[in-house]
Structure 1
Amino acid sequence: HKIHMNIVRSHCLFLCGFLWSLTAFPPCAALGQCRGSSPEQCSRAVAVQRRVDCHPQPGATQENCEARGCTWCTTDVPNAPWCFFPEDSPYGYSLGGNAEKTIYDPNTERFEVPLKIDSPGVAAEDTSYDVEFTDDSSHFRIKRKSTGTLTKNMKKWQSQAIHNMLFMFQPFANLYGVHPFYMCVEDDSNAHGVLLLNSNAQDVSLSPNPSLTFRTIGGILDFYVFLGPTPENVVQQYTEAIGRPHMPAYWSLGFQLSRWGYGSIDVLKETDVQHLDIDYMERRLDFTYDKENFAGLPEYLQELKKAGMHNIIILDPFISKDEEPGTYRPYDLGEEMGIWVNNSDGVTPAVGQAWPPGNAVFPDYTNPRTVEWWNQLCLEFKNVLDYDGIWIDMNEPSNFLQGQFPGCADNDINNPPYIPSISDRSLAEKTLCPDSKTYLGEHYNTHSLFGWSQTAPTFHAVQQATGKRAFVLSRSTFVSSGKHGGHWLGDNFSQWKDMHYSIIGMLEFNLFGMPYIGADICGFNYNTTYELCLRWMQLGSFYPFSRNHNAEGNMEQDPAFFGEEFAKISRATLRIRYSLLPYLYTLFFESHVHGNTVVRSLMHEFTSDQQTRGIDTAFLWGPAFMVAPVLEEASTAIKKHHHTGIK
């Protein structure tokens, strides 16, 4: 089923309620003390599990809640809403006509993500599930025909904001990518997945009802349901719809080394580094190299190639506009071809600030002319630096201002009536104004597609330049980015908890169809320690994308820096990885052809064992190899998991 719904940009609520087994719950007083409104109202209020937030913005009070016609009733249940829709009051959209295929607003055209997904040609009576709408259409439920159920009983309230943003890594914060996809394992061990193909900023809230509430501020509601029934089946079906992951080059499965801040070619030679961060550029200008500090860089890359090594160059998406006319080809050619993201007038380029000196403009990769421009520059630069792959960074797109010069106009596009709970509550924070214009429309709709639209052209340019399978590593991602690139988990910290989080992120991106995934080993920000870095090297030896990388100004953390014993232990773990590369390569082949995960959680293989569902401290390579790393400081053994007997 594809539920296709046109919605109003400024303030939309759509509740996707999986109401397969609603029962009468006790009044809220039985679940948490009720205060506010009158005692009578509170005693008749919607049971806590069934509340739908009527004031998701900050600053809810009883007064402004009741002004919306909603009920105010506090509760001790963590994260449950205090302001909520009355049960007997309809909300959301009213249904008119036949909703079997499409629900739409006939009064306006809405933005649609330009990703073609072919739904299988199965008649409704032949599907393995049913879709049912409630009378007021504010809910719909999806039932698995074989069991009559679809979801398990969620026990917690949890919300997640979705919107690409340059932001330091934090749990539950919106970061670099947008993947509105989830997988759920039901009580009977059947699994399902749901994709909302929508690129606008949105909030997704889970409640113990069980239900999901999607609040998106634009686009359409385009849902796809994947019925498994196993977790692996769900991912296979999902990647069949969005596109199978690319097949990485064999060499890219080796251990890789990088840092921001090497500073000179002499340091590169001492470290045998394979990734070049922005240090190699002349004044941080794309498609240049520093001929003073990195004199001889082209020749050095040739030496690495003769030694059987490969190298990756970084490129950023912003182009300096303040160089002397005729001296900086990327800008001059882009200006001639008219390929920039424009201001709201659709004519003048949007100007912000980033790494290069002066001001910068931003290529619009949704424009076919930009793809020509990028391809041409990547091919030309191959003749300058003989690279093997390209790492595209800062492509949310990042901008060091809040919007471009001279600031964002005060209108409903830049400041809509409802802003999801994204970091800093601004759609323009560290990026461009939402009313900027791209080839596909307003940046309001296309913002989270920027990195996605850059990845495929980069993949094809690298493939053409090298004549071999392409290596592309992108920070910003969207649904189907795995077809053309890999991803690292961004600017993490040298902390024990971040090492643990990396396992969760790695498992998530395998669900998203991006199995070539890893985190910065030993951490990107802060100084690491001997013990943390050694444990992280042991874990990182089993990331599909295995790279040690850290930030400018921090201490060195490559394995050789810590001495002979550290290097010996790291080498031993990496040799296990290298001995298993044929197996890892086969897993990537299975992923590329059939859509399997490469790294998976234990529940993928032990589907009926409910104790495996909470394990996020161990993982599997395919079906046959388990990794259970030490994740706690001052530990020399892995403790028995509190859910299982794993030691």
Structure 2
Amino acid sequence: MLLLTCLVAVLLTSESRGQAVDKTLRIDCFPEPGSSQQGCISRGCIYDTNFDQSHPTVPLCYYPSGTGYSLSSSGLANPYILNKKSDSVKNPYGADISPISVYHSNIGATLNVKIGVQGRYEPPVQFPRNPSTSSDSLRFSVSDDGNLFSFQVKRASTGTNLWDTSIGGLLFADKYIQIATHLPTDAVYGFGEAIHQSIKHDFTQYTTWAMFARDEPPDSAGQDTKNLYGVHPFYVCLEQDGNAHGVLILNSNAQEITTGMGPHLIYRTIGGNVDLYFFPGPKPEDVINQYLALIGTPALPAYWALGFQLCRYGYHNLGEMQAAVTRTQQAGIPLDVAYADIDYMDRYKDFTTGSAWSGFPQYADQLHQAGMRIILIFDPAIQADYDSFQRGISSGARFIEWARQDQVPSAINGQYPYVQGTKIMLGVVWPDKHVGFPDFLETSGNTNKWWADEFTRYHSQMGFDGIWIDMNEPSNFGTNQDHPWYYDDDDHPNIPPLFCPLTGPDSVLEVPPYQTQAVYHYGNSQLSSNTLCMSAKMGGGNYNFYDAKCLYGWSEARATRQALSQATGKRGAIISRSTFPSSGRWAGHWLGDNTARWEDLKTSVIGAMEFNLFGIPYVGSDICGFISSPTMELCLRWQQMGAFHPFSRNHNTLGTPPQDPAMWPEVAAAAKKALLMRYNYLPYLYSLHFEASLNGHTVLRPLFFEFPQDSNTHTISFQFLWGSAFMITPVLDQGATTVRGYFPNDVWYSIYDYGYATVQSPGFASLQAPITSMIPVHVRGGYILPRQGPATTTVAARQNPFELLVAIKGQPGQAQGQMYWDDGDTIADNVASLSYYKWVFQYSETSTTAQITLQRTHTANGLSIPTLDIIEMFGYNYYPDYTSFTLDGKALSINTQTSSYSAFTKRLMISTANLINLSAVNSNTPSVLTWRHGTQLLD
């Protein structure tokens, strides 16, 4: 009888109402565990009893198509006022809020659509919100077809719908908000932080990705949709015609997206409003430029921060660190930065040095004298019983707190005199005793000032150059656990963990009606697992941790940028584990605690491209893997690939053998070769970072960014570009001696061991890549790349003469490029105000002559720069007349002993000491290097 009743209910719910929805366009009505037919019907939703084994992810319980809001007759203009439809399915996770409003506005070419209720929580992030520019525009329109409100965002030039919410499913309760949209294509990239097996999202099934900052190592051994350290609700979409647009959903609560087969997208969050930003492109790089106009351009790293970096967790003493650095140097491997993980601290307390590291300040001085730098790790949690914490309390710094005094656990807080009379929430991390978490969102400035003063104080004892901020999700050990893991660790005392109010009236934020896949993915878990209580207070008491937790790493990075500048008086570099939109304004990022597996090597290629989409171009993975031990071959291939990530650091964990590249002769040779090429092209890489910071661009980018019209590039996950012109094809498979690469329809010259200077045909190709050679690297015709003779430190390399690589394209041939140059270390809070040079280079030719035009478009004051001594040219189709060279009409003597031309490869090398004094190039009138062709080669 019960079964018959349920079946009748199903029929009444779906067929008689006429609201059955195609399997490719469903919005899950039971996205949490425990879905059942009876539970589905009790929500007023439709249950499909026909499970499709060929599409097992299709929701069986889904919302009727008419679910949503209707347009109020009193709100027919901007803002639009919406009322909950009386015949619509009710929100399963709380009372529907009605009315809500929809408001749209423009920030230049960027369209902002805001859905919600005024006065609700909004992330307290201060974006520049500069007006963007575009060759196209977006149009916003609404409809109320069949009494269901929806809106559309269209591209003005083509009429393409970028968003279309007529799919239905709009829900808005206090702790459950949902919006869904049709998508123009399934070519969607972004959303993070998560491990993606391919750069393009898979729309052949329904997949849900959680976004909630968590101390969680990546797992690349299969598709794992768990949320990692940061939150980036931003994506780029390619349309059918190759145009691109982007969307940011600005929200800092726990949230998730489901990609559906439609293709369609479902967004859920458990707080705040829906604050959407649409970026029209139409080129992919335009999208990022517009996104960065809103959130802010990335920080410019110090020049030395583009050098190779060496780290490990598990140095037992200073001597072990010194040994790793020494053997790297003795192998001739370029090295700029030595790191210390938490090992260097006195029992893991910030701003202290342990007894086994007593000579550390003197060693830092030695490294500085050798042209190297030091970066130290610092965690946000401060032990509650030593002088750094006491100074914070005395100076008025704030810490994350309990909401009320009666919630404070006296058995824990009563042990620490400095917290008496406060509501400070104490947790457990690496130190031996309980810790407090600085409240970097409070607005008095006392916390940030105290934080900067602590770094300044410690810098006077220990001369670090950069800062590595970790554990800032924030992470907390053993929350809500009777037997946390550290009870079984000999290196950590068994101090009681933090317990949050999971039941009773105070649990409303701890256990909301819907907790997102950031909880459900982990089984027996809560939002507070691995972190602090959701009911805690931040922002000096103005925000619930429930709302603002995902901003913790963002706010710490902002405070740490101020601290580094104050402590060192120089630019330096910061890397942060937890990030949020605009974190790149202050810090770079490493891709977390990966594992020494081939799968993790592959996904790190995708991760670095994604973080360039997110506005954090200074990014890289732990080379050779952090967890476990790599084989020689894996470490070798990772060193080769990692040499071309903007942030290039080898790092491994406690209890594993050393994996610095000099541990294996083969790895040392490969690392030396790859890093010397990196250092050779650092002026180009640095110029890309400078351009990104100054004008808002990517540094490392996917192939489809440059070739969006080529559908083959849309799924290329394992090749990448520096800027527009420098392509890397890494080897990512065990035992491989060749690698399959794709070359879009353009001119590509080899700049590695095989076929150097020769043209690679467009299309797919098998490329030679034994472990004794470089991985394949190619330069794109039509570009001029600045470079410099390499050395084993950037300090030494910066003294070498400049060079230009001119990759000629077309008949007659042409190429262009640019270079930025400054002292590399002056604080760059405003890059435009730096004292820097910028040169623009252009090559052109006729049937009889060739010329390179050099123009200085920006001038530095008092900055000594090397001369330009070498110009290497690919695709030069003539024997040169060495006697005909002139610079600005004056004859130049070319050193024919060091210059050469190959008719076979069409490679011209012009090499003469002091060939061109770049600092003397006039800023008003370009300098012109000209020469006559000799005999033309026959193709």
TM-score, structure 2 as length reference: 0.62
- Greater fraction strand: 2
Q: Can you list the C-alpha shifts for 1:62-117, whole angstroms capped at 9, x where unaligned?
A: 11001101111133424221100122x32368667246346647977311112244
Select the residue among 343, 350, 369 that pairs with 1:306: 369
Match in the other structure for 1:430: 530
Q: Does 1:176 align with 2:229?
A: yes
Q: Does 1:206 align with 2:259?
A: yes
Over the aligned positions, Cα root-mean-square deviation in angstroms equals 2.5
Verify: 1:249 aligned to 2:302, yes or no: yes
Which residue is 1:86 aligned to? 64
Check 1:602–1:341 CA distance in 2 against 1; reply closer, same or farther (3 A cut).
same
Query: Residue 36 of structure 1 contacts residue 62 of structure 1 at CA under 8 Å; is this kept in 2?
Result: no
Alignment correspondent of 1:631: 732
Residues in 2 aligned to 1:386 and 1:113: alpha-carbon distance in whole angstroms? 36
CA shift at 1:548, angstroms? Answer: 0.2
1:255-294 matches, cutoff 5 A: 255-272=308-325, 274-290=338-354, 292-294=355-357
Structure-2 residue corresponding to 1:30: none
The secondary structure found in structure 2 opposite 1:111 is: coil
What one-letter code is carried by the residue in structure 1 that aligns with 2:351?
A: F
Please name the residue that 1:420 is paired with: 516
Which residue number in structure 2 is paired with residue 21 of structure 1?
none
Give the structure 1 partner of residue 651 of structure 2. Answer: 549
Match of 2:42 among 67, 78, 88: 67
CA 1:539–1:35: 2 relative to 1, 3 Å: farther
Give the aligned residue type for 1:253.
Answer: L
2:501 maps to 408
Pair 1:387-2:464 in alignment: yes
Give per-residue Cα distances to partners, 1:373-404, cap 9 Å, x unaligned.
10110111110110101100000000002256
Q: Which amino acid aligns with 2:184?
A: K
Tell me the residue number matched to 2:923.
none
- Provide closer, same or farther for how the CA distance between residues 409 and 349 of structure 1 changes in structure 2, counting only shifts above 3 A: farther
What are the within-5 Å matches in structure 2 for residues 44-443 of structure 1? 45-73=20-48, 74-76=51-53, 77-87=55-65, 89-91=66-68, 97-98=75-76, 100-101=78-79, 104=100, 109-117=119-127, 127-135=137-145, 139-149=150-160, 150=162, 151-154=183-186, 155-156=203-204, 157-170=206-219, 171-272=224-325, 274-290=338-354, 292-321=355-384, 323=385, 328-336=386-394, 337-345=396-404, 347-367=422-442, 368-402=445-479, 405-410=498-503, 411-422=507-518, 423-424=521-522, 425-439=525-539, 440-443=542-545
Q: In the alignment, which residue of structure 2 is the partner of 1:519?
A: 621
AA of the residue aligned to 1:371: N
* Amino acid across the alignment from 2:63: F
Task: In structure 1, give the amino acid aligned to 2:585.
Answer: K
1:143: how far off?
A: 1.1
SS in 2 for 1:146: coil
Question: Residue 372 of structure 2 aligns to a residue in which SS?
Answer: coil
Contact (CA 8 Å) 1:90, 1:138: kept in 2 or not?
no
Partner Cα distance (1:101, 1:596) in 2: 33
Find the counterpart in structure 1 of residue 577 from structure 2. 475
1:642 to partner: Cα distance: 12
- The match for 1:454 is 556
Aligned-pair CA distance for 1:211? 2.5
Residue aligned with 1:293, SS: helix
Residue range with higher mean Cα deviation, 101-110 or 299-308:
101-110
What's 1:582 paired with?
A: 683
Cα displacement (A) at 1:406: 3.6
One-letter amino acid matched to 2:22:
A
CA displacement 1:10-36 (0-9 Å, x = unmatched): xxxxxxxxxxxxxxxxxxxxxxxx999
* Alignment-mate amino acid for residue 364 of structure 2: L
Report the alpha carbon displacement of residue 408 of structure 1 after superposing the two structures with TM.
2.7
Name the SS for the 1:473 alignment partner. Answer: strand
Q: Deviations over 1:170-207 (max 9, x none)?
A: 34211000111010011110100000110000111122
Preserved CA contact (<8 Å) 2:298 2:617: yes
Q: C-alpha displacement at 1:565, in angstroms?
A: 3.1
Cα distance change of structure 1 residues 617 and 99 upon mapping to structure 2, 3 Å threshold: farther
Give the structure with higher Rg (CA).
2
Comparing 38-47 with 301-310, greater Cα deviation is found at 38-47
Gaps of at least 5 residues in structure 1 are: 1-33
- Following the alignment from structure 1 to structure 2, what is the Cα–Cα distance between the partners of residues 454 and 137? 43
Q: Residues 37 and 116 of structure 1: is their aligned pair in 2 closer, same or farther, counting only changes over 3 Å?
A: same
Match of 2:602 in 1: 500
Q: Counterparts of 2:458 and 2:696 in 1: how far apart (Å)?
A: 34
Q: Aligned equivalents of 1:207 and 1:524: distance in 2?
A: 34
Q: Is the 8 A contact 2:131 2:294 kept in 1?
A: no
Say whether the 8 Å CA contact 1:36–1:72 is kept in structure 2: no
Deviation at 1:604, TM superposition (A): 0.8
C-alpha deviation, 1:407, in angstroms: 2.8
5+ residue gaps, structure 2: 1-6, 82-99, 102-115, 163-182, 187-202, 326-336, 406-421, 481-496, 745-762, 767-939
CA distance in 2, matches of 1:373, 1:137: 53
Q: What is the one-letter code of the residue matched to 1:289?
A: T
SS at match of 1:638: strand
- C-alpha separation between the residues in 1 aligned to 2:660 and 2:642? 13
In structure 2, the CA distance between the partners of 1:79 and 1:141, relative to structure 1 (3 Å rule), is: farther
Kindly state the Cα deviation for residue 498 of structure 1 after the two structures are TM-superposed.
Answer: 0.4
Counterpart code for 2:388? P
Matched residue count: 604
Using the alignment, how far apart are the partners of 1:624 and 1:203 within structure 2?
36
Structure 1's 122 and 378: CA in aligned 2 closer, same or farther, altered over 3 A? closer
- One-letter amino acid matched to 1:511: L
1:247, 1:592 within 8 Å by CA — same for their partners in 2?
Answer: yes
- Whichever residue aligns with residue 308 of structure 1, its letter is G
The one-letter amino acid paired with 2:214 is M
**Is the contact made by 2:128 and 2:296 (CA closer than 8 Å) also made in structure 1?**
no
2:668 aligned residue: 567
**Matched-pair contact (CA < 8 Å) for 1:500–1:617:** yes
* TM-superposed deviation, 1:585: 0.4
8 Å CA contact retained: 2:30, 2:61: yes
Aligned-pair CA distance for 1:139: 3.8
For residues 92 and 412 of structure 1, the distance between their equivalents in structure 2, rounded to whole angstroms, comes to 26
Would the alpha carbon gap of residues 348 and 81 (structure 1) be closer, same or farther in structure 2, given more than 3 Å must change? Answer: same
- 1:461 positional shift: 1.3
User: Cα gap change, 1:269/1:513 in structure 2, threshold over 3 Å: closer, same or farther?
Assistant: same
1:345 deviates by 1.2
Q: Within 1, Cα distance between the matches of 2:37 and 2:392? A: 54
State the Cα distance separating 1:338 from its structure 2 match.
4.7
**2:305–2:573 contact (8 Å) kept in structure 1:** yes
Matched residues in 2 for 1:530 and 1:435: separation?
Answer: 48
